[in-house]
């Protein structure tokens, strides 16, 4: 693993750290940050420092042209109190995929992983014990050249920060707005990358969704606006005729690691799966006729969140019969049992955290 140059104040800052009673999601930060700078075609050393504000030149390219990528991973506590990461190499690979998509340099997987292990190990006494709560880890990279010219930056910063967090939604809390006008990503674009612009593009619809008492937007394909794609930060799954269905991956859908994990564990639970095109209108009819019984959002932050109802712009509502669906909760429990180390998942999914600093 790549060594880390540790500023001793970073370790000291952990001594004064206390978790507030109410954590929420992503607002309490572990008081350290790990970073590396890229210049002259190579990455510099990984450094650990106390968490602090950054000083940013107003012409820094990321501020204007959004050349940035990020990841979302979680650190869990095993029943023995050991910190664990879930399929972290998948996040490292996806980070480098996003980097290629955004004309940014790749970072060695072992450097990425060394930083993720270090921040999780350092935060291990602050990973909440309540099942479903965890340490949310945010690796990211941004363009640091200072000039207003529109061209790929030649310098970058890679950083990792972490946030002890509660789960994103409580089961039963999720109403979904069907977006039939705006699009999140189009063919040939960067929808498969975890880059800020995709999330910026989703915000106007989030505001609209909130007006319909919905917590998420369901995006449709950009061309025909007929097929379900995903939500703004999570993939979409439904149960129809007793089978798990999810949209097949295209160049406009982010390949979720939770989605992939669910597709791999569902057969173990006796559930057949299918990845194909899902027509939104047919799906809504299927819920009305009870052919479809459950729908849920899945992703690292949310784990699995059952959907209570779909809402249209004309205020039509389609309830998803059981708001805390039977399969949704069964899969959620099984996945969490693996992530939190209560049962063994497939080889290599649950990784013991190493002290890399």
Ligand X SMILES: Cc1ncc(COP(=O)(O)O)c(C=O)c1O
Nearest residue (CB) to ligand X, 156 versus 236: 236
Residue 338, φ and ψ in degrees, nearest 5? -70, -50
Nearer to ligand X, 32 or 183 (CB): 183
DSSP element (H, E) containing 319: strand 317-319
Which of 240/259 has CB closer to ligand X?
259
Chain contacts with ligand X (rule: CB under 6 A): 72, 194, 230, 233-235, 254, 256-259, 299-300
- Exposed, middle or buried, 196 (CB in 10 Å: 0-12/13-18/19+)? middle
The distance of closest approach from Cβ of residue 230 to ligand X in the complex, given in angstroms and rounded to an integer, is: 5
Residue 143: strand pairing partners: 156
8: left (phi over 0), alpha (psi -120 to 50) or beta: alpha
The Cα 81–Cα 151 span in angstroms is 47
Both tokens assigned to 292:
């479809």
Residue placing its CB nearer to ligand X in the complex, 257 or 278:
257
Separation of alpha carbons 81 and 34, rounded Å = 24
Least spacing, CB of residue 184 vs ligand X, in Å: 8
Nearer to ligand X, 26 or 44 (CB): 26
We find the least distance from the C-beta atom of residue 168 to ligand X, in angstroms, to be 11
User: Are the C-beta atoms of 161 and 31 separated by less than 8 Å?
Assistant: no
Min dist. Cβ of residue 218 to ligand X (A): 12
CB closer to ligand X out of 33 and 231: 231
DSSP 248-288: PP-TTS---HHHHHHHHHGGGGT--EEEE--BHHHHHHHHH
Please, what is the minimum distance in Å from the beta carbon of residue 280 to ligand X? 17
Q: Minimum CB separation from ligand X for residue 256, in Å?
A: 3
């Amino acid at each position: 693993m790549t060594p880390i140059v540790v500023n001793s104040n970073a370790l000291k800052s952990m001594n004064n750290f206390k978790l507030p009673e109410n954590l929420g999601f992503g607002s309490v930060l572990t008081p350290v940050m790990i970073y590396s700078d890229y210049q002259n075609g190579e990455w510099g050393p990984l450094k650990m420092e106390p968490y602090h504000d950054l000083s940013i030149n107003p012409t820094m390219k990321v501020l204007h042209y959004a050349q940035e990528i990020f990841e979302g991973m979680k650190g869990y506590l095993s029943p023995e109190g050991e910190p664990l990461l879930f399929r972290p190499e998948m996040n490292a690979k996806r980070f480098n995929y996003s980097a290629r998509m955004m004309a940014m340099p790749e970072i060695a997987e072992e450097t990425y992983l060394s930083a993720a292990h270090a921040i999780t190990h350092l935060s291990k006494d602050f990973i909440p014990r309540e099942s479903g709560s965890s340490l949310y880890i945010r690796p990211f990279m941004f363009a640091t050249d200072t000039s207003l010219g529109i061209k790929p930056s030649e310098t970058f910063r890679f950083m990792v920060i972490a946030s002890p967090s509660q789960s994103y939604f409580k089961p039963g809390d999720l109403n979904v707005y069907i977006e039939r006008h705006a699009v999140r990503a189009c063919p040939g674009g960067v929808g498969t990358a975890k880059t800020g612009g995709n999330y910026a593009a989703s915000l106007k619809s989030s505001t609209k969704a909130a007006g319909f008492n919905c917590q998420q937007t369901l995006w449709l394909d950009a061309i025909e606006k007929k097929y379900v794609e995903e939500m703004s930060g999570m993939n979409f799954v439904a149960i129809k005729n007793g089978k798990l269905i999810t949209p097949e991956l295209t160049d406009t859908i982010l390949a979720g690691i939770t989605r992939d994990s669910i597709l791999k564990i569902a057969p173990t639970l006796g559930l057949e799966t299918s990845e194909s095109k899902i027509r939104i209108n047919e799906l809504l009819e299927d819920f009305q006729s009870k052919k479809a019984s459950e729908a849920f959002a899945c992703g690292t932050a949310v784990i699995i969140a059952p959907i209570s109802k779909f809402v249209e712009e004309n205020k039509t509502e389609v309830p998803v019969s059981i708001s805390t669906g039977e399969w949704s909760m069964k899969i959620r429990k099984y996945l969490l049992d693996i992530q939190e180390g209560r049962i063994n998942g497939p080889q290599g999914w649950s990784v013991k955290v190493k002290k890399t600093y």
